[in-house]
Amino acid sequence: MKTYLVSGGAGFIGSNFVRSIIKKSDIKVINIDNLTYAGSISTIKDLLKYSNHKFIKTDIGNIKKIKYILKKYKPDFVINFAAETHVDRSIDNPEIFIKTNILSFFNFINLIKEFFFKLNKRKKNNFRFIQVSTDEVYGSIKKGKALENSEISTSSPYSASKSSSEQIALSYYKTYKLPVIIPRSSNNYGQFQFPEKLIPLSIINALNEKKINIYGNGLQIRNWIHVDDNNDAIINLINKGKVGQIYNIGNNVETTNINIVKNICKILDEIIPRNNKQSYSKLINFVTDRPGHDKRYANSIKKIIRETKWRPKINLKNGLKMTVLWYLENKHWWKEIQKKKYKGERLGRVEFK
């Protein structure tokens, strides 16, 4: 039996990663999460019934507790999703991003290194540490697509902190031979995404007959990938990826933010028409852009396709419809968040003096 230690496993991507592997009888999942605003027990409620799933509340920077977990459960793979992730929040409060994504991460990987040193040769050869990162470290791409060796050019405290954790992880590979693999994922969407992000916030605001705010002119270009495809790619990297390597994960489809929102409105128009017979697109409202907003993300996924044969399966049109239907069918989940954690207010608005 293989044991997966999944950190940040009560958040959006992490919890869906656990769902993607938990039904296999030959694995055990140790799920750790500090349950900050974006992670909650309600997100993993369906996972608690599995006997091969163990949830432990802790911060990845908690040296004593992480050391105990590593010693007791002896994971074969460590997949780190734990991070502060929202660009807007990093503008409002960069300190927590530096603390979690760099300082706590350092404590975590340092303990992983010590654990790795004590493994026997066979276990060492099969052990993997996956540090999940983001294509935002490339910054705005003017032409072509970013390759894994393209220049790093971060624009926000969030992307800067993720780039820093990447460099720490790669240094541990080069210095200590820790078998690190770094996936750089493009924009994820899908079920259980915290409703501060563009897609779930747009869906929920539309359902609540509230304005759907779009930054600037809405022409910022992103590459969107369904969370299930993203996690399938990570599983492929655990099994087939080369240690010490970075891999872009994406869907080869670029579209503007305004186009994403208009498509969401169109889906809602078909499924649950408004009482006033108008399109949900009438709720779209353009607001002042956020500082340092990258214009275009675009990453090449040729490397992961070439080395692992992975390809995305869910196209954007179907994925968006699946996502809209999930938020319609799971109102209890996001209404609890709106009641206790986040009411949909704008974040990342800096007033320059």
Active-site residues: which are they? 135-136, 158
Residue 336 CA from chain centroid, whole number:
21
Residues 161/101, Cβ–Cβ less than 8 Å: yes
Q: Are 38 and 109 contacting, i.e. CB atoms less than 8 angstroms apart? A: no
Taking residue 139's Cβ as centre, other Cβ atoms within 10 Å add up to 22
Cβ atoms of 223 and 158 within 8 Å: the answer is: no
DSSP 125: H
Report yes or no: 72 and 331 within 8 Å, Cβ to Cβ: no
Residue 46 CB contacts under 8 Å (≥ 6 apart), including other chains:
19
Helix (H) or strand (E) run with residue 129 in it: strand 128-131
Q: How far is CA 11 from the centre of its chain?
A: 8
> Residue 290 has what DSSP assignment?
P
224: β partners:
187
